[in-house]
Amino acid sequence: MRDVGVRRVVFISSGAIYGDQAVQPVTEDAIPNPQSPYAVSKLAAEYYVRTIGALYGIETVSLRVFNVYGPGQQMPPVHAPVIPNFLRQASLNGTLVLSGDGNQTRDYVYINDIVNAMVTAATAPGANQAIINVGSGKDISVRELVHLVLEVTGGKPEIVYSPRNERGPARLCADLTLARQTINYQPLTSLKEGLSLTLERDPRLRQK
């Protein structure tokens, strides 16, 4: 990139680097508390990208993306992402497994909003070396997510609570103040609308 004259690199980091935080929604100046190897790798990569960019004269922006979802999302057989897994299980009247009491919350953001943020961050003036949260700015519990999934799919799956608690923070929500100020970011897709679009545009979620 240095040799061909790339002006700016936009790196996709993760809201997972925050881990447990006492203050929510979480701002970019919160001290990172990564609780998984994945989160550690994202935090380390932020430092690599920022440092190499400064050394070689390349502008950099790191977007801390929260729980992104949308059609075409990968669904590995183990630890499948919650939204496509729930949509598929509900559509086929399968089983929804909720970890712990289901009251843990996450900030789910539709893929189109993330793409818009990436495109804007590539050219926004004054964003060099910025680290910016990108989410919906709203968190929702797993229990509430289940209700929306049932409403969108019309399914009647079995709902099972697993006593094994999910590893991760009890609550996580993005503060979008800096995103609005720096890249004029405003999420446009509500969670219910995003769930409907994901179900409509991803035929895998309705196939047995």
Task: Report pLDDT digits (tens) over 141-189.
Answer: 999 999 999 999 999 999 998 877 666 789 999 999 999 999 999 999 9
Catalytic residue among 38, 47, 48, 56: 38
Spatial neighbors of 160 by CB under 8 A, at least 6 apart, are 95, 96, 97, 98
Residue whose pair of structure tokens reads 């994901």 in the numeric block:
198
Give pLDDT, residue 167: 67
Each residue's pLDDT tens digit, 101-135: 899 999 999 999 999 999 999 999 999 999 999 99
Instruction: Flag whether pLDDT at 10 surpasses 90.
Output: yes
Residue 44: band (very low, low, confident or very high) from pLDDT cuts 50, 70, 90: very high
User: What is the rounded CA–CA span in Å between residue 83 and residue 68?
Assistant: 9
User: What is the rounded CA–CA span in Å between residue 194 and residue 208?
Assistant: 22
Which parts of the chain fold into alpha helices (H)? 37-56, 82-91, 111-121, 142-153, 177-183, 191-201
Q: For residue 4, how many other CB atoms are within 10 A of its CB?
A: 5
User: Tell me, what amino acid is at 89?
Assistant: Q
Beta strands 130-134; 59-65: pairing state? parallel
User: What is the rounded CA–CA span in Å between residue 32 and residue 45?
Assistant: 13
Q: What is the pTM of this model?
A: 0.94
Cis ω before 25 (30° cut-off from 0)? yes
Residue 191: band (very low, low, confident or very high) from pLDDT cuts 50, 70, 90: very high
Question: 3-state DSSP call for residue 98?
Answer: strand
Residues 64/193, Cβ–Cβ less than 8 Å? no
**Residue 18 falls in the annotated catalytic set:** no
Instruction: Flag whether pLDDT at 22 surpasses 70.
Output: yes
* Burial classification of residue 208, based on how many CB atoms lie within 10 Å of its CB (0-12 exposed, 13-18 middle, 19 or more buried): exposed
Q: What is the CATH number of domain 8-206?
A: 3.40.50.720
Question: 3-state DSSP call for residue 78?
Answer: coil
Among candidate residues 183, 156, 129, 159, the one with its CA nearest the CA of residue 11: 129
